[in-house]
Each structure stands twice: as C-alpha cells, then as structure tokens.
Amino acid sequence: MKIEPLMLTHDRGTFRCGIPSFDKYIRAQAGRDAAKSLAAIYVAELPGGKIAGYYALSCATVLLPDLLGSGGQRIVSRYPALTAARLTRLAVDKRHRGQGYAGALLRDVVERLRASPLKPMALIAEIQNEGARFFLEHAGFQSFVDQPNRAFRALH
C-alpha cells in the first residue's frame, strides 16, 4: 500500500466513506487546502489512482490543563500550551473497510509527525461518531477532561 500526498492525478470522485461531509471534502476542498498549506492531505492509493482512504492534518495548540487528569500528565511541559497536530479527518472508503487501511493511515500520521522538525507533543482529534470513538480508543487515544468528544494521543 502506498500512502502519499494528495495529487491532481488521484481519482477522488468515487470516494464514499458514509459521511457526506468527508466525501465532499476530499472531492472538492482538500486539494485547495493543501495548495494553501491549510492542511496536509495524504491518501492510501490504489492501483489506477483511486483512493482507499485519506487523512487531513492541520496545526494546533492544546492547553495542558485540558489534558491533566486523563493521562495528560505524561506530557511534561513548563508551558501551558503544547504544540499539537489536529487530525481533522481520517476516512476509508466503504468498499475497503476492515482491511487495515485506517490503521496504516494512522501509523503514517504518527511516523510523519515524529519525524518532522517541530515534533508536536500530541495528536488531537474530534470524535464525530461512535465508530470513530471505538477506532480512536483502540488506537490509544484518550478523551480530554470534560470534553468527551475530543481525544488526544501523546506523540513523545
């Protein structure tokens, strides 16, 4: 499986993950966001240029007090705000579910962030539905204190 930055040659029109806003994003918005450096978009490419799945990442900061008490104390910092990356979207086409694509995309996120010069301290994600909650918890994410629909995973 090849995971690479979204390019004009990728066929985005047939992507269907079951969440219309996620489908519309990769079809109509992701290329523009990447071109303007508003987001980093990576895709799991299939033969012929189709897309099995994708993720979108952007920069973020997170307040340490938001994390404390739910495992955030493992992130040690003298600053109240930590550098973070936000996983704004991660989705797999319905026809390719359960084949490890989401796990591979998430591993790719973590590897790229750990290798980047800025090395963000945490990866954060909004929990959009119960499937996402199970997937993220299974992947080691924990909910923010008092914000059950936001989750984080330490990167260090």
Ligand X SMILES: CC(C)(COP(=O)(O)OP(=O)(O)OC[C@H]1O[C@@H](n2cnc3c(N)ncnc32)[C@H](O)[C@@H]1OP(=O)(O)O)[C@@H](O)C(=O)NCCC(=O)NCCS
Q: What are the residues binding ligand X (CB under 6 A)?
A: 17-19, 22, 90-92, 97-103, 125, 128-129, 131-132, 134-136, 138
CB of 150 to ligand X, least distance (A): 12
Other beta carbons less than 10 A from residue 32's beta carbon: 10
Q: Is 124 exposed, middle or buried (0-12, 13-18, 19+ CB in 10 A)?
A: buried
For ligand X, the closer of residues 55 and 72 by Cβ is: 55
For ligand X, the closer of residues 64 and 87 by Cβ is: 87
CA–CA distance, 92 with 26 (Å, rounded to integer) = 11
Instruction: Specify the length of the chain in residues.
Output: 156
For ligand X, the closer of residues 81 and 110 by Cβ is: 110
CB of 71 to ligand X, least distance (A): 18
- What is the residue type of 134? F
